[in-house]
Amino acid sequence: MFDLSGNSALITGASGGIGAAIARALHASGATVVLHGTRAERLAALAEELGERAHVVTANLSERAEAAGLVDAAAEVADAPISILVNNAGISPKSPSGSRLDTVNTTIEDWRHVYQVNVFAPIMLTQALVEPLTKGGGAVVNVTSIAGSRVHEFAGSAYATSKAALSALTREMASDFGKLGIRVNAIAPGEILTNILSPGSEEAILPQIPLGRFGTPDEVAETIYFLCSDKAKYMNGSEIHINGGQHV
C-alpha cells in the first residue's frame, strides 16, 4: 500500500458507489477523508464505518454559494490542510420516462445545472484550495467519463459534453497548477457496477467491452489512490481509461 498518512483528502460525491470506494481506499492508506455529498445520512453511515479520520460536509454544488463555501467547511473538520482533491461528484439528468436527454430536448436550465456541478465546481474548488495544495505538493483527480469522447447509449448530451469539457479542463489545470507543484490528472470510467447503472446496459454495452464485464467501484478507486500517491509523482495531465477496453 502507498502511505498517505498526514494527508487530508476532500472527496466530492462521496455518498455514491464510486465516491465511497474512493473514501475507503484513501482512508485505509492513512489519509484523513472529508466526505462531501448531499445525502447526509449516507455520508454519516460511511463516516461511522470508517471511524477516526473521517468527516462529513454537505453542500449542493449546483448552488455556486454552497460550492464556494465547501472548502472552508472542509478545512474546519479536516485534521490537516487539504492536500488531495477528488472531483468525483457529477450529475446526469434524465427525462421523466428515464430516457437520455439529447441536444434536441435538453433545456438550457438543465445544461447550466449540469455544467455547474460537473465543470464549474471542480475548478472553483481547485482554485479555492490552491494555497494548501501548493504547500502540500498536492494532487487533484477529476472524474470524467467514457461518454466524454463518444455518443453514449444512456448518458445525456449535457453530461457527455460536460465530461469532455472536464477532460480539457484537466489539461489546462495540469499546465497551470503543475507550475505550482500541484499534479492534476483524470480518470475516465466506463460502465461501473453501481446503483446508477442504466437499465438495459448489460444487453446494449457489455458486447462492446473486450474484457466481457463491467468494472467495480473498487477498481476505479484503486487507480485514483495510485494517482494521489507519490508513486505517480511524475504524472500530470493524464487521463486514464477504466473501462475494460470499451473505448477502443
Of the listed 115, 159, 225, 234, which one is catalytic?
A: 159
For the chain, how long is the longest CA-to-CA vector? 49
Q: What is the pLDDT of residues 136-154, one digit of tens each?
A: 899 999 999 987 777 776 6
pLDDT given for residue 76 in this prediction = 94
- 157 burial level (CB within 10 Å; 0-12, 13-18, 19+): buried
Q: Report the alpha-carbon distance of residue 102 to residue 174 in Å, rounded.
A: 31
| DSSP assignment letter at 94 | B
The answer on pLDDT for 198 being more than 70 is no
Over residues 47-89, the pLDDT tens digits come to 999 999 999 999 999 999 999 999 999 999 998 999 999 999 9
Residue 205: which pLDDT band, with cuts at 50, 70 and 90? confident
Is residue 159 part of the annotated active site? The answer reads yes
pLDDT digits (tens, 9 = 90+) for 152-181: 766 788 999 999 999 999 999 999 999 999
Which percentage of the chain shows pLDDT scores above 90? 74
Burial of 199 (C-beta count, 10 Å sphere; 0-12/13-18/19+) = exposed
Residues 9-57 pLDDT 10s: 999 999 989 999 999 999 999 999 999 999 999 999 999 999 999 999 9
Q: Which residues contact 104 (CB under 8 A, 6 or more apart)?
A: none
Percent of the chain with pLDDT over 70: 96
pTM of the predicted model as reported, rounded to 2 decimal places: 0.94
Q: Give the model's confidence band at 196: pLDDT under 50 very low, under 70 low, under 90 confident, else very high.
A: low
What's the grid cell of residue 141?
Answer: 483527480
